[in-house]
Structure 1
Amino acid sequence: MGDEISWHVELAVKPGELDNFRALTSDMVAFTKSEPGVLVYERFVSEDGQAVFVYERFVDSASAVAHLMAFGKRYGERFDRMVERKWFRVCGTPSDELRGILDSLGATYVSLFDGFSRFQ
């Protein structure tokens, strides 16, 4: 695991925005595929369509910073109009630069204390 950073986010979809958010998400996924430091970029939707669960994983803090900077410029305003963050949990030890960005998003942090990953 080393320098890898991941996060899990729960988003509440604002009323009437699910279809718009699905379209935006498709664009975000296509764009993010070109970012070499992104290992996982997945979205899950609740059965009632009111919540979206985000899982993102990066090779290191620098890759996460690059992603967040590109995301903010390209999608931030539209994203914030469609959803509200309910919680944002970061796994790993982010750099000071990344932590500064994540703090502004209301992130909380957890550190690995035991376990393994077969993910390569």
Structure 2
Amino acid sequence: MHADIITQYHLSVDPADFDRFHDLVKAIVAEARKEADTLTYQYMVDEARCVVHIVEGYRMSGVLPHIDQTFAPYAETFLSLAKIEKLYVYGEPTPEIRARLDGFGAIYLTQFEGFEI
């Protein structure tokens, strides 16, 4: 089993709520930056400020602490401002991680070819 998990969230946001969403995301990113097992944590937005993608990369041991400790205090407000349209999970998550991500409608993909440096 590979030791890293990458997630890619596709969100929709009402452009009228984007500034409030952005302020919330700044706080979440500041907390995620402190996590030793978070390898990448990036938010991207389209020009109209209504489509947001999040790319997250974790060591396997970092996924649940991020969800339970870092994201949890912000979850209710986050989910009131953004709708998760799709969640792609790359890697081989543990059953505990799958159980948590299944709640977001996760689609799991495993690598069948390639490499990383």
Task: Give the C-alpha shift of residue 2 in structure 1.
Answer: 2.2
Partner Cα distance (1:72, 1:7) in 2: 14
Task: Give the C-alpha shift of residue 66 in structure 1.
Answer: 0.7
Q: 1:48 to 1:15 in 2, by over 3 A?
A: closer
Structure 1 unaligned regions, length at least 5:
none
Taking structure 1 as the reference length, the TM-score comes to 0.93
Q: Does 1:116 align with 2:115?
A: yes
CA contact (8 A) 1:42 1:55 kept: yes
* Partner residue in 2 for 1:102: 101
User: Any idea what the Cα deviations from partners look like across 1:53-76, whole Å, max 9, x if unmatched?
Assistant: 10000011x310110111342110
* Partner residue in 2 for 1:26: 26
CA contact (8 A) 1:14 1:84 kept: no
* Partner residue in 1 for 2:73: 74
Partner Cα distance (1:76, 1:51) in 2: 18
Structure 2 unaligned regions, length at least 5:
none
Q: 1:103 to 1:69 in 2, by over 3 A?
A: same
CA contact (8 A) 2:28 2:71 kept: no
Task: Give the C-alpha shift of residue 13 in structure 1.
Answer: 0.3
Alignment length (residue pairs): 117
Q: CA RMSD in A?
A: 1.3
User: Any idea what the Cα deviations from partners look like across 1:44-103, whole Å, max 9, x if unmatched?
Assistant: 00011111010000011x310110111342110010110000100000010010000000
